[in-house]
Chain A
Amino acid sequence: MTTLALAPALDRVPRRSRPAREWLAGTLFVVPATVLLLAIILAPLLCLLVLSLTDYEIGALQIRWLGLGNFEKALSDPVFRRAMGNTLLYVALVLPGGVLLGLLVALLVHGRTRSRGFYEVAYFLPVTATLIAMAAVWQFLLHPKLGPINGMLKAAGFSEIAFLSEPSLLIPTLTVIGLWNLIGFNMILFLAGLTAIPRDLYDAAEIDGAGGPIDRFLTVTWPQLAPTTMFVAVTTSITAFKVFDTVAVLTRGRDGSEVLLYAIYLEGFQYFKMGYSAALTVIFLGFMLAFSVFQAFQLDRRVHY
């Protein structure tokens, strides 16, 4: 307390030297971060943009300038078009499913008292489990002959379903696994949002005649949760757009499951067509920026202490 009381008086002594001291300390403190920012984000980004305009391949003797040739090629490349279509379909399925199921579970769990811990653990467990290992488990669960899911289908009198080989079923199957992996995470975010709703809003709604659970949800919960819902929707879209792990284990991008990141991986790191892969990455970055500009805006409003 004495130090605080003295502070205004003593402030005059270091004031002359303070800006210089701050300049020096501030500059020194940000040197490592700035160097890394240049080396692992900005320089690679610039390099990526240049590469995307060339036909560079590892081991090629000369590099040709293609201008926008790679992008034109991508737009007419059936493999890329399928990858783009599948990725957007995956996002279109996972986004509403992940948001609505996450919200439903959070609403039901929020009302529990003694069993809340159990449900939190059960729904969150898939988030912490290494997805690659669990994808191998899913492969076994969905096995046409040995898996219990087809076993149950057959016991119920249905014929077996080739979840992981029938091309038209690949994206729906990956969607179910994606949702399984994601719902617990969204549940936690919604639970935090629900906890932040002031109780007296519900009391006020009751006085205004909104007493039933559905009325209370529509008049209080849903509007109050709007920022959380926006945030969950954006993070879910980004996660879904980056689908890769399950594809790498379960289908390796075979017919019907080509997705954008797997196409980038194949072109760049398996076929070593660096220029073309860079162009696809620039397209990927365009989508990320569209989602993320929104997210950064949301994040700024969210994190307050």
Chain B
Amino acid sequence: MQAARFPLSTGRLLRFAGAHAVLMLGAAFMLLPFLWMLLTAIRAPDEILTGGLNPIPRSLHAIENFSAALQQAPLLRFMLNGVIICGGILVIQLLVAIPAAYALAKLRFPGRGLLFAAVIGGLCIPIQVPALPIYLALAEFGLLDSYFAMMVPFFLSVFAIFLFRQTFRGFPDEILQAARVDGLGEFEILWRIVVPSALPAIAAFSIFSIVAHWNDLYWPMIVIQRMDYAPPPLGMLFFANSETGASYGVLMAGATIITAPLVLVFLLARRRFVQGITMTGIK
């Protein structure tokens, strides 16, 4: 309708400007917290306490704020914990899910239908549901406050099994047959032929898993009391609570350090992230 009334170029121009105006407004809202976090992290305390709207800091206080943040809480330790936990979870998830998914996709064995039904059922159960009994079991065996406690509920990802099964099902049976004829065992067929062909799905799942567990607060908050095991979100919670004297510059410096790794990885591997989400569609 618009295109009919205006000459084509004017209508297009208006729509172009309108779209950009709305998008820029939204983008400003999305980016404001990041911008203000960075600006406050390099601002001096007395300037923060005036509550001014001036975006440019009058004096640079970056080194003081960041070193104070690193001294007040072991932020680098939190991130090392995050790397250990995410890495451990991911490796075991892949080692458990890949063979199971292959068996469900390509092999006939007793109980296959039942297991697949259980996998589908498991998709509906978030960590908060088995949390209480798993906590009691870990407490019973004296395993609370450990990396193991933080990782164990996630060793099995039914979602990974589901996703990989869908991927493996598309693998041509003729190639599997030929490999069997050549004398390869199922183990070799899986790891040397099928897995390399499914790397995009494995990468997509890996991104999903790392983001989910790097950012998870609920479970670590339950099983971890000692700060030296805390992953980044729990560490941030300790840090935000322990922080005395309303030193927001230091708090924002800490928030910058905690958010930086995933944000940087995202900026470097944006396409992989987007692919991962459209493939898995689950947060």
Interface size class of A (residues with CB under 8 A): 35 or more
Contact B27 A37 (CB under 8 A): no
Contact of B258 among A47, A125, A133, A248 (CB under 8 A): A133
Contact with B along A117-151 (1 / 0, CB 8 A): 11111111111111111101111110101111011
Contact of A115 among B20, B31, B111 (CB under 8 A): B20
Contact B123 A296 (CB under 8 A): yes
Contact of B27 among A22, A119, A146, A265 (CB under 8 A): A119
Nearest B residue to A239 via CB reads: B283
Determine if A23 is an interface residue (Cβ-Cβ < 8 Å): yes
Chain B positions within 8 Å of A43 at CB level: 133
Contact B155 A40 (CB under 8 A): yes
A150 to B53, CA, bound (A): 10
A32 to B92, CA, bound (A): 10
Contact with B along A20-33 (1 / 0, CB 8 A): 01110111111011
Contact A128 B211 (CB under 8 A): yes
Contact A284 B128 (CB under 8 A): yes
Shortest CB-to-CB span from B179 to chain A, Å, is 9
Determine if A41 is an interface residue (Cβ-Cβ < 8 Å): yes
A48 to B49, CA, bound (A): 49
Determine if B113 is an interface residue (Cβ-Cβ < 8 Å): no
Nearest A residue to B190 via CB reads: A29
Contact of A248 among B136, B237, B279 (CB under 8 A): B237
Shortest CB-to-CB span from B41 to chain A, Å, is 10
> Interface residues of A: mostly helix, strand, loop or mixed?
helix
Determine if B10 is an interface residue (Cβ-Cβ < 8 Å): no
Contact A133 B30 (CB under 8 A): no
Stretch at the interface among A62-70, A71-79, A81-89, A297-305: A297-305
Nearest A residue to B125 via CB reads: A41
Contact of B133 among A27, A44, A104, A127 (CB under 8 A): A44
Contact B277 A185 (CB under 8 A): yes
* Segment 253-283 of B: residues with Cβ below 8 Å from A: 254-255, 258-259, 262-263, 265-267, 270, 273-274, 277-279, 281-283
Determine if A167 is an interface residue (Cβ-Cβ < 8 Å): no
Determine if B150 is an interface residue (Cβ-Cβ < 8 Å): no
Q: Known contacts A4-B174, A4-B178, A123-B30: does B96 contact A109 (CB below 8 Å)? A: no
Chain B positions within 8 Å of A130 at CB level: 214-215, 232-233, 236, 258-259, 262
Contact of B132 among A4, A26, A27, A277 (CB under 8 A): A277
A152 to B156, CA, bound (A): 48
Q: Known contacts A128-B266, A305-B170: does B36 contact A285 (CB below 8 Å)? A: no
Chain A positions within 8 Å of B119 at CB level: 37
Contact with A along B181-224 (1 / 0, CB 8 A): 11001110010000000000000000000010011011001100
Determine if A274 is an interface residue (Cβ-Cβ < 8 Å): yes
Contact A119 B186 (CB under 8 A): no
Contact B281 A32 (CB under 8 A): no
A194 to B214, CA, bound (A): 30
A294 to B121, CA, bound (A): 12
Beyond A128-B211, A185-B283, 7 additional contacts (C-beta under 8 Å) are A23-B109, A23-B110, A30-B109, A58-B139, A130-B214, A137-B33, A249-B237
